[in-house]
Structure 1
């Protein structure tokens, strides 16, 4: 809390650049239009200057740059230099436990969580072997395995391929056989969490996404999001509006 208070005034001054902070992890997200990176680079420089002024040191060795661009002809952008150190451009990076790829596909992230869940299934089998009560084994599954499978599920599940969903659901079915009791499917968990998150945002006027929940004149349903790509259609806000209307 003290560190959060200390860094509270470290913010972006331009609406096209967002500064995301979680404890000592900071991410700069910039919307670059017409190839003009000047505002984004200025914000990065201001961040470095703020850290220097406030006796904090940026770890440039752990700083990377990722470009998300779906145009057919992607122009080459100059390297990003921070304090005389060039940030390498990567195809994916791990952000607060979630692996984000520049093509916004989730294969790498799903491979990671399946591997982690498989390792934890061993402990589930051991608990079953020692005849622990079914209720307690189910609680262990929810806390240790389901929590891994559902990490940031509201972000990636809607855009996941059917093949990857089957891979994930096999983990749930394996746990069901070990426990000997039915477990909620990932689709059920995704739907529940999206709806819960959407209701929370809808009740919070200070949330940046609050205005996206626009009631129709009837007052019974929300205006559907205008989407032009399947990627956008399957993302959180269009899916949240759809679930609130259903």
Structure 2
């Protein structure tokens, strides 16, 4: 109920920045063009002022700044972001709604997390095999607990994954195939 109330309460906030809300989390996206941070910083000030006027507190300790810069120029320095006089931590990656977002917008961090989670579940598949369960039960376990992890949001990231990332996925699938002694389709 709280996320719905939060969304209703904050619906009237308008700004030149893109505001993405999920439950009580807010994600602010803005473009810095021609080395001019003015619009970006003004958007943050507008958010800060709106929150004060509407009796909402921004949790600065949970607030992070991530800069994605694809310019071909030398590395540029950006002004440190301050909210209510408190500096905001600048990070090169963070997790938002379970997805790892990095400053180079690569999917490797997300894929490594999925592969690690799937590998941990391979242990349980091997244990079930050792109990001499039928291959159909093992196949169902694989589909529900390992393949579901590997294919989580696959339509979003697979097209931009590296060959190395794809091989890591296939190694997990091949390991499951050897465990069950059945072939699975490629991801």
TM-score range, shorter chain: 0.7 to 0.9
The structure in which a higher percent of residues are strand is 2
Partner of 2:152: 151
Closer/same/farther in 2, CA of residues 185 and 40 from structure 1, 3 Å limit = same
Give CA-to-partner distance per residue, 1:176-230, whole Å, 9 cap, x none.
22233332322xxxxxxxxxxxxxxxxxxxxxxxxxxxxxxxxxxxxxxxxxxxx
Partner of 1:89: 90
Q: Are 1:43 and 2:43 matched, yes or no?
A: yes
What is the rounded CA distance, in whole Å, between the counterparts of 2:54 and 2:184 in structure 1?
Answer: 50
User: Which consecutive segments of 4 or more residues in structure 1 shift more than 6 A?
Assistant: none
Partner of 2:162: 161
What is the rounded CA distance, in whole Å, between the counterparts of 2:38 and 2:7 in structure 1?
Answer: 24
1:124 is paired with a residue of what secondary structure? helix
Give CA-to-partner distance per residue, 1:141-195, whole Å, 9 cap, x none.
2332223222332222112221221111110111122233332322xxxxxxxxx
Closer/same/farther in 2, CA of residues 67 and 54 from structure 1, 3 Å limit = same
Closer/same/farther in 2, CA of residues 127 and 58 from structure 1, 3 Å limit = farther
> Which residues of 2 match residues 18-37 of structure 1 at below 5 A?
18-37=18-37
Give the unaligned 5+ runs of structure 2. Answer: none
1:128 is paired with a residue of what secondary structure? helix
Per-residue deviation, 1:51: 4.0
Partner of 1:185: 186
Q: TM-score, normalised by structure 1?
A: 0.66
Q: Are 1:3 and 2:3 matched, yes or no?
A: yes
What is the rounded CA distance, in whole Å, between the counterparts of 1:23 and 1:143 in structure 2?
Answer: 27
2:8 is paired with a residue of what secondary structure? coil
Partner of 2:129: 128
Closer/same/farther in 2, CA of residues 52 and 128 from structure 1, 3 Å limit = farther
- The question of whether the paired residues in 2 share the 8 Å contact of 1:10 and 1:47 is answered with no
1:89 is paired with a residue of what secondary structure? strand
Q: Are 1:170 and 2:171 matched, yes or no?
A: yes
1:46 is paired with a residue of what secondary structure? helix
Q: Would you say how many aligned residue pairs link Structure 1 and Structure 2?
A: 185
Partner of 1:13: 14
- The question of whether the paired residues in 2 share the 8 Å contact of 1:110 and 1:164 is answered with yes
Highest RCO, 1 vs 2 (Cα 8 Å, sep ≥ 6): 2
